[in-house]
A = this chain, B = another copy of it.
Amino acid sequence: MDNNHQDYYFCIDHYRNKMRGRPATYDNDAVVLKAQEVFWEKGYSATSLQDLQNATQMGSGSLYNTFRGGKKELFSKALQQRREAFQAFKKELKQSASPMDLIRDFFSSVALADEHTHLKGCIVANTATALAFIDNDLEAEAVNILKDVEKMFTDTIREAQRTGAVTNPADAAVLGRYLITCWNGLNVTRRMHPHKEKLKALIEMQLSILR
């Protein structure tokens, strides 16, 4: 019998090739996405397994069979889903003709979100904020993602300084750290002022430092 297809698909359940056993009824990625939504609003500590069962419509049996690490594994997978969303943006950035403009647009678009989105903030920054003395592993995962975003900022700025799209001559590493700090700050301030005009002016002020 030919089992090689399993290797191509890395055993992702949805594409599994005639494995033995009852087929899964739940789509794994969709379940993690539902979990992500709950975690994003309530945070890791305040989210119960009952919350996750309600959101995913999965029973504890299936949940623990699929995510043997329980709540922690689910949260980690949710974080990785956000990392992938970031990596998609980074890919878009690489193909862009004017990457610095794309980053500016990204910041500007934050102001346009609705109130609920403002109140949610950024799940990665939320995690870095909340879990330092609760769970080192998850906190480190969040910090790593933020550092990756910072690196993307730094690399983009360094190149933009070369082309003249950024005229501020300061160390690109400092400017990159400045931008990730703008992002981190924005995700608290937008809860104080979930108000388009106020946020628009704020973000313009933040970005004015670059040129």
Interface residues, chain A, CB within 8 Å of chain B?
41-43, 45-46, 119-121, 125-126, 128-130, 132-134, 139, 143, 146-147, 150, 170-171, 174-175, 177-178, 180-189, 191-193, 198, 201-202, 205-206, 208-209
Contact = CB atoms under 8 A, between A and B. Distances in A.
A192 B128 contact: yes
Nearest to A174: B201
Contacts of A128: 188, 191-192
Contacts of A205: 170, 174-175, 177-178, 209
A206 B181 contact: yes
Question: Which of A41, A125, A209 lies at the interface centre, i.e. has the most chain B CB atoms within 10 A of its CB?
Answer: A125
A189 B142 CA distance: 12
A199 to B, nearest CB: 9
Contact of A43 (B120, B130, B185, B189): B130
Contacts of A178: 202, 205-206
Contact of A126 (B129, B171, B174): B129
Copies of the protein in its oligomer: 2
Contact of A129 (B129, B134, B150, B183): B129
Given A130-B129, A191-B128, A202 B177 contact: yes
Nearest to A204: B174
Contacts of A129: 121, 125-126, 129-130, 187-188, 191
B45 A191 contact: no
A208 B209 contact: yes
Contacts of A177: 189, 193, 198, 201-202, 205
Q: Which are the 7 A-B pairs with shortest beta-carbon distances?
A: A185-B185, A184-B188, A181-B185, A45-B46, A184-B185, A45-B45, A41-B133
A147 B192 contact: yes
Nearest to A183: B185
A119 B132 contact: yes
A23 to B, nearest CB: 35
17 contacts: A41-B133, A42-B133, A120-B133, A125-B129, A125-B188, A132-B191, A143-B192, A174-B202, A177-B193, A177-B201, A178-B205, A181-B186, A181-B188, A184-B187, A185-B186, A185-B188, A205-B209
